[in-house]
Amino acid sequence: MSEIPHEQANDAIRQADILIIGGGLSGAMLAVQLLRLPGRRSVLVIEPRAELGRGEAYSAVELGHTLNGNAARMSVDPDSADDLTQWLTAHIAAGGWPESDQQSVPVSELFPPRGLFGEYVQQRLAEAQVAGAANGSSVEHVRAEVVDLENLADGVRLTLSDGQRLRGTYAVLATGMFPAARTPQAHSSGLNAAALDPWDVAAMRQLDPQSTVLIIGSGLTMVDAVVSLEQAGHRGPIEVFSRHGLLPHVRRQPPAWADFLGEDPSIRTPRQLVRELRRHCRDAIARGIDWQAPLDTVRVHIPRLWSQATDLQRRQFVRHVRPWWESHHHRSPPLSAELVARLHGEGRLRIQAASFKGLEPSSGDELGIRIRRRGEPCECVVHGVALINSSGIEYDWRRVARPLPRQLLARGLVQPGPLALGIAATADGAVIGADGQVASRLFAMGPPLRGMWWESTAVTDVALQAKALARRLTQPL
């Protein structure tokens, strides 16, 4: 992957057909689809990380940090559901990932490490580059952060953190996910600044192995944080606080179940969905079948159900159903779930339903946080030697403390999406500005479209969006 050096920061403005802002999974998959299409085009991917295709999610290096879906569910090729399974089969046969035999299941049911999945994405991108070069197409990596974007009469102009400026016919916001800041904050230090990275095993090795570690949030990032602590040799108490105190369920491989939503188009509202889903889950359990079987049929219908729901119905879903939906649907890989269950059973890991209220000044090596336990009127302070923020993703761009989202909002080039989830866009990803006008040259994909489709972060979601958007961007204006 060629990279534009920083020495060109003050040179003339570089031009390209398509500027992809973000080089994680979303940006890399869009580049792959653009390279595979016939025709000649130049693409610049602006990404501050050293590598494309990984982002934060797939930069993890520890084998214990695995995908939360098995290989059969995680193909980056929307035309081949077996693509990752085939890649893994060849990779293992060549001597890669020797630890895979610990899972004792077919390759399609393996949960590969995040870092290995990133390698798979990068290989598919490299192969697409070779194919694109035959048509005269190219992708270059610009290692910087986009800090501003302007509309021009004939395209868009980007300003980068190192002073470069780029021009393109189109720009695509493939910015991925922004970590939640969870502000209340105390004094000069925000939560993210005070917290350890959930995947930083090296930093966790510096902790007293018997000390108490505090974790805010009980979702999949918390599971990864617990894996990191275990691999770092931590053996002390782990106190987890989240509003509802719900843990992700373990992902299993249930048998097929009838597509009841496809068979009954009258089910349209969140309330109807929940009622019918519960009925099917009870039916499955009564027949000795895993309740995850009917739940897994729902996934493909979520974009349709969400997009046709009213704002009131969406708010009801987010307020009353979302925590249970995420704990049941966004499930934990089996080995990680086994570790969490074991530590919980030993009493080392405690899950408490409590709201984070802020950081508390502390003396010595400890730090404190203020929480309010569910059902209790008063706040209290808990202490530990380290804090990990596993509170999830910030989808409200008005709360994201990065230059580009702030500039786009200030310029009126974007507006918040439904329920302030991501940004507003049309069905084909064209961004809608604050004035209600649909942009002709600015598009978005992946997590920024959370408000449009609800589920817009999974690998299969991103792969499908990348294919459709690539075709849209290669059509004449």
Q: Mind listing the pLDDT tens digit for each residue in 108-118?
A: 999 999 999 99
Q: Mind listing the pLDDT tens digit for each residue in 381-409?
A: 999 999 999 988 889 999 998 999 999 99
Burial of 130 (0-12, 13-18, 19+ CB in 10 A): exposed
Task: Enter the tokens of residue 282.
Answer: 């009870």
pLDDT band of residue 190 (cuts 50, 70, 90) is low
Report the distance separating Cα 364 and Cα 158, nearest Å: 46
**Residue with the larger pLDDT of the pair 59 and 477:** 59
What are the structural domain ranges in the chain?
3-65+113-179+395-473, 191-249+332-391, 260-329
Percent of the chain residues past pLDDT 90, beyond the cut: 77
Percent of the chain residues past pLDDT 70, beyond the cut: 95
CATH of domain 191-249+332-391: 3.50.50.60
Average pLDDT over residues 277-298: 96
Q: Which of 367, 371, 339, 370 is nearest to 353 (CA)?
A: 371
| Residue 357 CB coordination number (10 Å) | 15
141 bridge partner residues: 3, 45
CATH of domain 3-65+113-179+395-473: 3.50.50.60
Report the distance separating Cα 176 and Cα 56, nearest Å: 9
pTM for this predicted structure = 0.91
Average pLDDT over residues 194-203: 90
Average pLDDT, the chain: 91
Least trusted range by pLDDT, from 8-22, 364-378, 421-435:
8-22
Q: How many CA atoms lie within 13 A of 289 on its CB side?
A: 16
Q: Mind listing the pLDDT tens digit for each residue in 172-181?
A: 999 999 887 5
Whether the predicted pLDDT of 186 surpasses 60: no
pLDDT band of residue 120 (cuts 50, 70, 90) is very high
Tell me how many degrees the CA angle 256-118-41 measures, rounded to the nearest 5.
Answer: 105
**Residue with the larger pLDDT of the pair 194 and 156:** 156
Report the distance separating Cα 290 and Cα 282, nearest Å: 10
Judge whether 3-65+113-179+395-473 and 191-249+332-391 match in fold.
Answer: yes
Report the distance separating Cα 312 and Cα 294, nearest Å: 26
